[in-house]
Amino acid sequence: MVLVERHQPERNQPSGHERADRRPTLGSLTLSSVRWRRSFAAAAVAGFVLVSGCGFGAKSSTPAHSPEAGVHVFLWGNFDTSQRDVKLAKEGGFGWVKQRFEWRYIEGGAKGRFEWNEPDRIMKAVDDAGLKVVVRLDNQPAWARADGIFPQSGPADRLSDWTDYLTAVATRYKGRIAGYQIWNEPNLAVEWGGKTPNAAEYTQLLIASYQAIKRADPQAVVITAGLSPTTDTSPSARPDVQYLKEMYAAGAKGSFDLLGAHGAGFKAEPEADPAVVALDPSLTNNDPSAPELKRIYTFRHVEDLRKVMVDQGDSDHKMAILEMGWTSDPRADSPYRWHSVTEDQKADYLVRAFRYAWANWSYVAFMTVLYIPDPTWTRSQEQLYWSITNPDGSARPAYRSLQTALFSKT
């Protein structure tokens, strides 16, 4: 789900305190259709082990209650609410947060002109809260594309400009960032500079990104982009399973530590079998696509992506669910109303999703819940209805239910 923060960072904010290199850990780790895309666009190893004191590690036994829990936050530019929101994450039972580090905001003025005040401030807030952070890296600055594509997200004209940016981020925050997500939903044209999605092109970007980050921080964890669950086969999109197969064909294996995925809930219960859901028009909004494509309309579609990994001989690597949730959008004119659930259902489904994953998905390292929202969101914005708290910081039923489940691990 591509949910762009609506403001650029304010300039000249006090810089965050520089910290000594310390490797964050995750548990025993050291370290749709295009309609759906607008609301939900939005794998290291078979087990975990301490590796040289840092990083998502190599093979070992799986820790209890894998996957772990994180939540997507919006700290950028929100100076008055950042401490509140990281506290909400911590007190909600989440061990880490996901935050966007958009290229255009950090190196937006000109090549080599980095503005670190805001990411420094965010890193300090996360560190002070005792949380880990996964950063999503995407969104090119205007100077990086001759065609002037902005603000639409697309790859840079020169791959070296992108990797120079990654090198700068990984060097500055070495040992402090728990994971680096490389782009978001490149299987959609809207995320790929308006061009027809091309898995080989994204794989080239992924390989170069992996190499650049690892040179700067050998223990860093590199995560592929989460792909949009879509049934669209037009030039504007590519189904995620098909796109992932094309990534492997282009040489993606060996150039990531975790395979990113988006765990769309839609209208189905979290335990629902994708094969059954695909044949139920009420759960697919009467989508006329082939049944094999309509398997996306359930949280367990993640298992289809896992099958691709296994078929490609890549079962040693784990997955990361970078976005997951259900919407409670009640607006009559909302394109998401067809799969809207009540606030109580959302709470129930999210807890059950974690229980299902704890019981069945030892190959998933962590899952990212949507959202502790941007404090500027209003009821006119569909993003708000995925959230587990309100913009004023008050809890919704999903927050309270997850809090109980995550602390008790039941």
- pLDDT of the residue at 147: 75
The fraction of the chain above a pLDDT of 90, given in percent, is: 79
Whole-angstrom CA distances from 337 to 36, 265, 330, 343 are 11, 13, 6, 13
- pLDDT of the residue at 85: 98
Confidence of residue 94 (pLDDT cuts 50, 70, 90): very high
Whole-angstrom CA distances from 299 to 161, 262, 282, 312 are 36, 9, 16, 22
| CATH class belonging to 25-408 | alpha beta
In this structure, which amino acid lies at residue 209?
S
Confidence of residue 65 (pLDDT cuts 50, 70, 90): low
Across 197-216, average pLDDT: 98
pLDDT at 405 over 70: yes
Confidence of residue 153 (pLDDT cuts 50, 70, 90): confident
pLDDT at 61 over 80: no
Confidence of residue 145 (pLDDT cuts 50, 70, 90): confident
Residue 208 in contact with residue 166, Cβ under 8 Å?
A: no
- pLDDT of the residue at 211: 99
Confidence of residue 221 (pLDDT cuts 50, 70, 90): very high
pLDDT at 37 over 50: no
Across 5-32, average pLDDT: 36
Residue 148 in contact with residue 156, Cβ under 8 Å?
A: no
Residue 9 in contact with residue 105, Cβ under 8 Å?
A: yes
Whole-angstrom CA distances from 18 to 54, 113, 210, 388 are 19, 19, 25, 32
pLDDT at 25 over 70: no
297 upstream amide cis, omega within 30 of 0 = no
Whole-angstrom CA distances from 85 to 178, 245, 280 are 19, 38, 39
The fraction of the chain above a pLDDT of 70, given in percent, is: 83
Q: Specify the higher pLDDT residue, 193 or 83.
A: 83
Helices 159-172 and 199-216: crossing angle in degrees, nearest 10, is 40
- Hey, CA dihedral for 109, 115, 117, 121, is it positive or negative? positive
Q: In sequence order, what E strands does 276-326 have? A: 318-325
- pLDDT of the residue at 149: 62
Residue 398 in contact with residue 29, Cβ under 8 Å?
A: no
Across 395-409, average pLDDT: 97
Locate the domains of the chain by residue range: 25-408
Residue 403 belongs to what H/E stretch? helix 397-408
Across 266-280, average pLDDT: 98
In this structure, which amino acid lies at residue 176?
R
pLDDT at 228 over 70: yes
Place of tokens 């809090």: 403
Q: In sequence order, what E strands does 222-352 have? A: 222-224, 258-264, 318-325
Global pTM?
0.87
Chain segment 106-141, per-residue pLDDT in tens: 999 999 999 999 999 999 999 999 999 999 999 999
Name the maximum alpha-carbon separation found in the chain.
55
The Cα–Cα gap between 265 and 36 comes to: 11
Chain segment 182-192, per-residue pLDDT in tens: 999 999 999 99
Across 194-203, average pLDDT: 96
The Cα–Cα gap between 344 and 328 comes to: 9
Helix, strand, or coil here: 261? strand
Confidence of residue 364 (pLDDT cuts 50, 70, 90): very high
Cα-Cα-Cα-Cα torsion 79, 85, 87, 93, nearest 10 degrees, comes to -160
pLDDT at 10 over 70: no
Confidence of residue 148 (pLDDT cuts 50, 70, 90): low
Compute the mean pLDDT over every residue in the chain, rounded to the nearest whole number: 87
Chain segment 242-253, per-residue pLDDT in tens: 999 999 999 999
pLDDT at 55 over 70: no
